[in-house]
Amino acid sequence: MTLWLALILGLLQGLTEFLPVSSSGHLFLLWKVFNLQTEKFVTYAVCVHLATLLAVLTFLHKEILLIIKQKDIRLVFVLFVATVPAALVGILLKEHLENLPPYAIGFSFFLSGLFCLGCKEHGEGKYSSVTLFKALFVGAFQALAVLPGLSRSGSTLFASLKSGLLRKDAVIFSFLLSIPVIIGATLFDAVKIAKTAEFELAPLLIGMAASYISALFALKLLVRFLLKGRLLLFAFYLFFLSAFTLLYFSLSD
C-alpha cells in the first residue's frame, strides 16, 4: 500500500465514521475502485478503525470521566442494553452481510439519506436519563447499521432525536454507543486476521494519524451541523452517492 493510499484511507475512515454518511460504504467503494487485496485492506481498516476509537474517546473525555467519577452504573447498563441488538445482528449475520451484492450498498446510502432528512426534532431529554425502552429503540436502529452503506451515526442520531433527546445530548448518546461497537468490530476483525496480517509500518502510521485527526474534525463538524439543523446537506450527498453506486455497479456488470 502506498503512502498516498494509506493517507486517503485514513482520512476517509475518520471523516465517514462519525459523519452520517457510512464509513463501511465508503471503504467498500474505495476497495472496489483501487482493487485492493482483501487481507491487506482489512489490516489497514482495523488499524484506522482503532484510530477513530481514540478520537471519540478524546472527544467525549469529559463525559466519560464524569460517568466514572459519578459511578453511573445505570447509564453504563443502558449503553450495554442499547449495544446488544447490533452485537447480535453482527454475530449472526456477519458472513451474509459480507456477501451482499454491490447494489445493496446503493440502497443503504439512500436509506441513510432519509435518516438525515428525519433529524429535525429538538427534544429536552438528557443522555444521562435515557430509559431502557428508549435505549433499546436507539439500539435497534444501530443494529440496522450493520448493513454496509447504512450510517451508524445517522441511524442512531435519528432514533435519539425521535426519543426526545436534545440535539447535543443525542450526539453524546450516539457516540457513547459507538465506543463498544467500534471495540467489538475491531477485536472481531483483529482476531480474524491475526495469523495472516501483512502491513508496512509507515503507511499504517500515516493512515492512523490521518484517521484520528479527521475523526476529531468530523465529530466537531457534525455537532455544529446538527445544532443548526443542517443535515439536509448530507442527505443530498447520500442520494447522489446512492445513484452513483447503483449506476457504477450496473455498468460494471
Residue 160 belongs to what domain range?
3-252
CA distances to 43, 156, 189, 190 from 195, in Å? 11, 34, 11, 9
Q: Averaged over 44-56, what is the pLDDT?
A: 85
Average pLDDT for 28-32: 75
pTM, rounded to two decimals? 0.89
Q: Over the stretch 219-251, which tens digit does the pLDDT of each residue have? A: 999 988 888 877 888 999 999 999 998 888 887
Q: Give the C-alpha separation, 12 to 213, whole Å.
A: 11
Residue with cell 425502552: 133
The radius of gyration of the chain from alpha carbons, rounded to an integer in Å, stands at 17
At 125, give phi and psi (nearest 5°).
-75, 150
pLDDT at 36: 63
The predicted pLDDT at position 196 comes to: 58
Return the C-alpha cell found at 102.
Answer: 454491490
Within a 10 A sphere around the Cβ of 33, how many other Cβ atoms? 9
194 has a pLDDT exceeding 60: no
CA distance from start to end of the chain? 27
**What SS3 class is residue 165?**
strand
The pLDDT of 108-129, averaged and rounded, is 90
